[in-house]
Chain A
Amino acid sequence: MNNTTKKTSTGSDKQIDHAAIDASITQRQEVSAIGAIIRTQPFWVFVAILCIATVMTFVSDAFMTERNMFNITRNFAFFGIMALGMSAVICTAGIDLSVGSLLGLCAITLGLTMQSGWGIEMGFIVCMLTAAIVGFINGFLIAYLKMAPFVVTLGMLAMARSIAMVLSNNKMIYEFGPDMELFEWIGGESMLGVPNVVWLLIVMTLIFWWIWKYSTWGRWVVAIGGNAHAAKLAGIPVERMIVSVYVVCSMCTGLAAFMFIGYTGSATNGMGVSYELNVIAATVIGGANLMGGIVYAFGAAIGAALVELIRNSLLLAGIPALWQQFFVGLFLILAVLLEQIRNRGR
């Protein structure tokens, strides 16, 4: 039986155009495009968001209002911007614990610059420069001195916060000089009914999507996360790439700080305490793997959205705010568990 089928198949092989077979092999893929999307973590987190949102429209009338949507999107946009940078770091199997402190430090350097009469351009440059320097120090210690990212950035978490306190002399800054109005408009206002910071998140998500898909830098970062040794042998400047990744992560935080201070209208050295946990949670919920090699641009935004949605939903459902962190933590663990289960099936 088996023999006959074999014979017929070899018989018909002779009439097959081999060039066509080669072409079809070349173009064949394990899964279709839609199948590939369904297999990703961000897709399932997005489904979870839709489910929670659907339930919430029945639980609370206040949920589906324009005002509430405005608040939710604005609140998660700050974390989303930071999470985009964090995804790059986590993709290289690293971690950056210093982003919360860096937000505080950027707030102070930015605030001090603008308070002393400089314009918004200078404030922006100082803010981004602060972030870039901190990112460079992190990256240099990790890439060239081969120190563990966890330890380096934990040290930076303490140092950046301390420097923010020293520079600010522990005082709050609420005077932002000549460009104060513009500065607060950028961070706090909206265009076409969508908060400016959300526009920024959308633009940056698209840029990062392009980077991960089409740029050499993105391809190399993913390769380093997959197998740093192989990347090195293939001629990729692994050390320089790692430094650049930490600089990118810090500069995303710098950008978030610039928007955040404009939104709150004041800068204190206590800003961003424990934000690193929310940012890392958002990144991991969005599908990043702490072992490295996996990154989704949309995952960062979607992960941040889920974290904020949980917070908002608990509030509107009348559950005490003390439970918020519990549910964020629960969803973090569930997200990792979901990824484990999906991988086991393969």
Chain B
Amino acid sequence: MSLLELKEITKRFGAISALQGVNLAIEAGEAVGLMGDNGAGKSTLMKIIAGNFPPTSGDIRIDGNLVSFNKPLDARNSGIEIVYQDLALCDNLTASANVFLGRELKKKIGPFSMLDYRGMNERAGELFTELKSETRPRDLVKQMSGGQRQAVAIARTRLSDPKLVLMDEPTAAISVRQVAEVLSLIKRLKDTGHAVVLVSHRMPDVFEVCDRVAVLRRGIKVADKSIDQTSTEEVTGLITGAVEAA
């Protein structure tokens, strides 16, 4: 039984058909690269899994159970965490406030329940240490580098020990050195048994961390194969259409 199973997912926006009968299964502890050109339907598929909008037709199963997501919170409650391309961080808050945003730790003093700063800072510090990131929980996010911001967004997904982490273009807008940092963060997620879906334009990143690659072209899945049975040339061909299907 797969951790996440998508069956015949179709999504139409008016007359435009963004996804047509896409099937995808993801096992626990597996990293899958989702590739495709602009407009191929990667983001649409991600948004369906993340609960931003429901598919026009098709089933989503988690651990074999049929689910339907109406809002991102539903997906999160089912064990799916998302790292958005823009990271969705509040620059005016500290790293630990961002990690705990929407699920703050509280402590009770008499009838008052108040934010537990110490508890949140310590837990966030532990998460950053696990990710081997030198990010300080008390620092404001606006003062941080791209890699540190990415670490904050990833640390947030680990709060609830999710089954699946979706990452949308995590390496698109950061420097070469920070890319290495983020890739090692993804490996660490894999090592701890999390499944990862990585949406990326960058071929080397996908080949470095993923076990499997799925290619979308104009809303249709044209390939789904293990990394060691394919090559960057083949994947490029599949994305552009030079190779029909594999």
Task: Please tell me if the beta carbons of B138 and A226 are within 8 angstroms of each other in the complex.
Answer: no
B52 to chain A, nearest CB (A): 9
Task: Report the bound CA distance from A29 to B137 in whole Å.
Answer: 8
User: Are A234 and B138 in contact, CB atoms less than 8 angstroms apart?
Assistant: no
A235 touches B140 (CB 8 A): no
Contact of A26 among B82, B90, B137 (CB under 8 A): B137
* Alpha-carbon gap, A19 to B136, bound state (A): 15
Contact B125 A223 (CB under 8 A): no
A-chain residues with CB within 8 Å of residue B111 when the two chains form the complex: none
Query: Once the chains bind, are A223 and B93 in contact (CB under 8 Å)?
Result: yes
Contact of B91 among A27, A213, A226, A229 (CB under 8 A): A226
> A219 touching B104 by the CB < 8 A rule?
yes
Q: What chain B residues lie within 8 Å of A215 (beta carbons)? A: 114-115
Q: Contacts of A231 on B, CB cut-off 8 Å?
A: 90, 101-102
Residues of A within 8 A of B106 (CB): 216
Contacts of B63 in A (CB 8 A): none
B88, B92, B129 interface centre (most CB from chain A within 10 Å): B92
Could you tell me which A residues sit within 8 Å of B by CB distance? 22-23, 25-30, 210, 213-216, 219-220, 222-223, 225-227, 229-231, 233-236, 293-294, 346
**A244 → B minimal CB distance (Å):** 16
**What are 27 pairs between A and B in contact, CB < 8 Å?**
A23-B125, A30-B140, A214-B114, A214-B115, A215-B115, A216-B104, A216-B106, A216-B115, A220-B102, A222-B90, A222-B93, A223-B101, A225-B92, A227-B88, A227-B89, A229-B88, A231-B90, A233-B72, A233-B82, A233-B84, A234-B88, A234-B102, A235-B102, A235-B103, A236-B102, A293-B90, A346-B143
Pick from A225, A227, A235, A294: contact of B72, CB under 8 Å:
A235
Write out, one digit per residue, whether chain B residues 98-141 have a CB within 8 A of any chain A CB (1) or not (0).
Answer: 00011110100000001100000110010011000010111110
Interface centre among B73, B82, B101, B122 (most CB of A within 10 A): B101
Contact A30 B143, beta carbon cutoff 8 Å: yes
Contacts of B84 in A (CB 8 A): 233
Q: How far is the CB of A274 from chain B (nearest CB, A)?
A: 31
Chain A residues with CB below 8 A from B134, complex form: 25
CB distance from B72 to the nearest CB of A (A): 6
Say whether B115 contacts A219, CB under 8 Å.
yes
Q: Which residue of the partner chain A has the closest CB to B76? A: A235
B198 contacts A by Cβ under 8 Å: no
Given contacts A216-B106, A230-B101, 20 further A-B contacts (CB under 8 A): A26-B122, A26-B129, A27-B138, A29-B136, A30-B139, A210-B114, A215-B115, A219-B93, A223-B101, A225-B92, A226-B92, A227-B90, A227-B91, A229-B88, A230-B88, A233-B88, A235-B72, A235-B76, A235-B102, A293-B90
Q: Contacts of A346 on B, CB cut-off 8 Å? A: 143
Chain B CB within 10 A, most for which of A30, A226, A236: A226
Closest to A210 in B: B114
> What's the nearest-Cβ distance from chain B to residue A232, in Å?
8
Q: When A26-B125, A29-B139, A230-B101 are in contact, do A294 and B115 touch as well, CB less than 8 Å?
A: no
Complex CA gap A23/B152 in Å reads 18
Is B80 engaged at the interface, CB distance under 8 Å to the other chain? Answer: no
Are B90 and A28 neighbours in the complex by a CB distance under 8 Å? no
Q: Which 10 pairs, one residue from A and one from B, show the smallest C-beta to C-beta distance?
A: A26-B125, A226-B90, A234-B102, A214-B114, A230-B88, A226-B92, A293-B92, A235-B102, A234-B101, A29-B138
How far, in whole Å, are A225 and B140 apart by their CA atoms in the complex? 15
Q: Which of B177-233 contact A (CB under 8 A)?
A: none
Given contacts A214-B115, A231-B90, A233-B84, contact A28 B102 (CB under 8 A): no
Measured in the bound complex, the distance between the Cα atoms of B97 and A234 in whole Å is: 12
Residues of A within 8 A of B129 (CB): 22, 26
CA distance A18 to B136 in the complex (A): 15
Counting chain B CB atoms within 10 Å of each CB, the highest count among A30, A219, A230 belongs to A230
Q: Bound complex: CA of A98 vs CA of B221, how far in Å? A: 55
A28 nearest in chain B by CB position: B136
| B115 / chain A contacts, CB cutoff of 8 Å | 213-216, 219
Question: Within the complex, what minimum Cβ distance (angstroms) separates B93 from chain A?
Answer: 6
Query: Cβ of B140: which chain A residues have Cβ within 8 Å of it?
Result: 30
In angstroms, Cα B129 to Cα A25, docked, is 9
Known contacts A214-B114, A230-B89, A293-B92; A26/B136 CB under 8 A: yes
The residue in chain A whose Cβ has the minimal distance to the Cβ of B50 is: A233
For residue A220, which residues in chain B have a CB less than 8 angstroms away from its CB? 102
